[in-house]
Amino acid sequence: MQFQLLVFVTVVEKKNFSRAAEALNLTQPAVSQQIHSLEEYYGVKLFERSSKKVEMTQAGEILYDYAVQILQLHQEARQAINNLMGLVTGKLIIGASLTIGEYVLPRLLSVFTRQFSNVEVAVSIGNTEVIADNTLNNRIDVGLVEGPVNPANLIITPFLQDEMVLIVPASHRLASGKEIETAELADETFIIREAGSGTRFVVEEVFRKLEFQPKREIQFGSTQAIKEAVEAGLGVSFISKWSIQKELRLGTLSVVRVRGHSFTREFSVIWKKGQFQSRAMKEFVNLTLSSNFHSSLEVATPSA
């Protein structure tokens, strides 16, 4: 019955039998058979099927709420037993916004997976809005975000300080290492992230503090794309200091300081209020907040 409920919940969330089959590593007929067995057991129709979409019936909507709770309780029971035995096992689903996911999380997971090799880790990358939404809707266990999120129904704990720095190509006229005035940016094209990104929000705050608005902007959907655009001479950008360590070592980008200004922000770890915390999740959060991990990052971070 538990497996049938898992299949049912997956079909609901994927909104499609074939996508659910792919997610569960089953054939589509096998998924259909599990749903048929559930419908026979409860004596109701759970889905209205058409060639284009799958929609729940009223009975399906009722069962879905209970099925989610049943599966969650089973996970909690299994984890409670593992805790009793002193084991750190199970699956941990981590969500991270793009800058953290690309430049901080890999090093964090390198430490975590060495310490807790029996934990199965899955990672979901998206912008801050997406990660916050996935956390609230139980799609992930814990999130790491770089932008502000609505505190309603979320526990939000800062874990690492970041600085937004202005980057230019190594051959740029401003790449002299000296501080510049805001007015010297007037004719520059700025490469920025998309709306909904935590980095985009912070960059807009930077512009407000500088009382400056770029004449030209170009949007990119990832930090890596922004760095490559700046290297190619397409423009300049404010970007996280954690994301440019390799480029600084290689000398392909330069950091420029704006006189009288520094722009810092906090990276935060988030999870849903009242959420059951598995031992694996607790250990991951503890590592994320640990001073030893932060020190290892700082040692590896060259000065700009």
Res 13 pLDDT > 90: no
Q: What is the mean pLDDT of residues 16-40?
A: 88
Q: Given pLDDT bands bounded at 50, 70 and 90, which one contains residue 298? A: low
Q: What is the pLDDT of residue 192?
A: 94
Q: What is the mean pLDDT of the chain?
A: 87
Asked whether residue 65 carries a pLDDT value surpassing 50, the answer given is yes
* 292 compared with 138, residue with greater pLDDT: 138
Confidence band for 199, pLDDT divided at 50, 70 and 90: confident
Of 49, 30, 35, the residue nearest 5 (C-alpha): 35
Taken in order of first residue, the domains within the chain and their CATH numbers are 2-84 (1.10.10.10), 90-159+266-299 (3.40.190.10), 163-264 (3.40.190.10)
Does the pLDDT of residue 184 top 50, yes or no?
yes
Q: What average pLDDT does the segment 253-270 reach?
A: 92
**Percent share of the chain, pLDDT over 70:** 94
pTM: 0.64
Output the pLDDT for position 85. 54
pLDDT at 176: 78
The predicted pLDDT at position 72 comes to 82
67, 73, 79, 84: CA torsion to nearest 10: -160
CA–CA gap between residue 265 and residue 200 (Å, rounded)? 12
What pLDDT does 299 receive? 42
Lowest mean pLDDT among 53-57, 234-238, 295-299: 295-299
What percent of the chain is modeled with pLDDT above 90?
A: 48
> How far apart are alpha carbons 227 and 290 in whole angstroms?
29
pLDDT at 237 over 80: yes
Task: Decide which of 178 and 271 is more confident.
Answer: 271
Q: Which two tokens stand for residue 24?
A: 């569960």
Contact 141, 271 (CB under 8 A): yes
The pLDDT of residue 73 is 85
Nearest to 141 by CA among 120, 127, 159: 120
State yes or no: pLDDT of 84 exceeds 70. Answer: no
**pLDDT band, very low/low/confident/very high, at 304 (cuts 50, 70, 90):** very low
More confident residue, 276 or 33: 33
Output the pLDDT for position 278: 84
pLDDT bucket at 95, cuts 50 / 70 / 90? very high
Residue 119, both tokens: 């934990």
Contact 275, 216 (CB under 8 A): no
**Looking at residues 285-299, what average pLDDT do you find?**
77
46 close to 55: Cβ distance less than 8 angstroms: no
What is the spatial distance between Cα 80 and Cα 93, in angstroms, rounded to a whole number?
A: 18
Q: Strands, DSSP E only, in the chain?
A: 47-49, 54-56, 90-96, 119-125, 142-145, 154-169, 189-193, 216-220, 237-240, 253-256, 264-272
pLDDT number for residue 301 = 41
Average pLDDT over residues 73-87: 70
